[in-house]
Structure 1
Amino acid sequence: MVEPIGAERHERLRRLPWTSPDGKTEYVTQGDGLINQIADSTEAHIISMAREDAADALVMVERPETRRAELATILRKLASAVNDVAHVAELRGERLDNPAPDLAARALTAALRKSLPGWGHE
C-alpha cells in the first residue's frame, strides 16, 4: 500500500505489564526486541504463579487441619492472582489486530480453567 505524501505513520504500541516508578503506564513499540521479550516472560511468569497459587489453594482446602486464617490468606492470594491474570488477558487482547469485544473475557476464562481444575466444568 502506498501512503499519501505527508501522511503520518503510527506504529502500534504495546502496553507493558508493569508501570514506571511513579506509577505511570509504560509502552513500547511492538516487535521482537528485548523489552518485548521481557514483557512476554513477565506475562508468562504471572500466569505460572497463578497456576501454582491455585494448586496450593486446592491442597489447603482438602486438609482438615487448615485454619480459617490460612484459608483467608490463600483467598487473598488467589484474588490477587485472578486480577493479575485478567490484566495479562487485557494486555494480550490489546495486541490483537481485530479484537472481539469479549476476547479478554474468553482468555481469562480459559486461563482460569487451566489454573483451577474443576472450575467451569459443572
Structure 2
Amino acid sequence: MTEPIGVETHERLRRLPWSGPGGKTEYVTPGDGVINQIADSTEAHIVSMARDDAAYAVTMAERPEVSRDELCALVRKLADTVKDVASVAELRGERLSEPVYGPAARALEEALRASLRKFGA
C-alpha cells in the first residue's frame, strides 16, 4: 500500500535505557543494530542486578547482627533498584505497543483476563 503524496511515515523510535548529554532522553531506530543490542543487554543487566539485590536483601534481613543503619541503607538501595526496574518495564511496554507486537500483546492480555475470570478474580 502506498502512502498519499506528501504524507511521510515515521517509524516509531525506541527510547534507550540511558540518558544523553545534559540528561536528555535518547532514542534509536528499532532493529537489530549494535545500539539496540547494547540497550537490550543494559535492560537485562538491570533486571539481573535487581534479582541479586533482592536476594541479598532477604539474606541481610534474616541476620540478627545487621544494624538498623545497614537495613536503612539496604532499603534505599532497593528503592533505587525498583525505580530502575520500573523504568525497564516502561521501556518494554512502549515497545509492546508497536504495531508489530500489538496482536500478540492483545492475545496475551485476553488470555490473562480469561484466566482471572476463571478463578473469580
Q: TM-score with structure 2 length normalisation?
A: 0.79
Structure 2's unaligned 5+ residue stretches are: 110-121
What does 1:18-29 correspond to in 2, within 5 Å?
18-29=18-29
The residue that corresponds to 1:58 in the other structure is 58
Q: Which runs of 4+ in 1 moved over 3 A?
A: none
Match of residue 44 from structure 2: 44
Cα offset, 1:51, TM superposition: 0.5
Partner Cα separation in structure 2 for residue 82 and residue 42 of structure 1: 15
TM-score by length of 1: 0.78
Shift of residue 6, structure 1, vs aligned partner: 2.2
1:2 CA drift (Å)? 2.1
- The Cα shift of 1:32 comes to 0.5
Taking the aligned partners of 1:6 and 1:34, their CA distance within structure 2 comes to 32
Tell me the distance in 2 between the aligned counterparts of 1:84 and 1:78.
10
> Which segments of 5 or more consecutive residues in structure 1 lack a partner in the other structure?
104-122
How far apart, in 2, do the equivalents of 1:51 and 1:18 lie? 20
When you count helix as a share of all residues, which structure comes out higher?
2
Corresponding position of 1:83: 83
Whole-angstrom distance in 2 between the partners of 1:53 and 1:74: 9
Q: Which amino acid aligns with 2:89?
A: A
Displacement of 1:21 in angstroms is 2.3
1:5-63 CA-to-partner distances (Å, cap 9, x unmatched) read 22201011000000012110000001010000000000000000010000000000100
Percent identical among aligned pairs is 70
1:76 partner amino acid: R
Give the C-alpha shift of residue 68 in structure 1.
Answer: 0.4
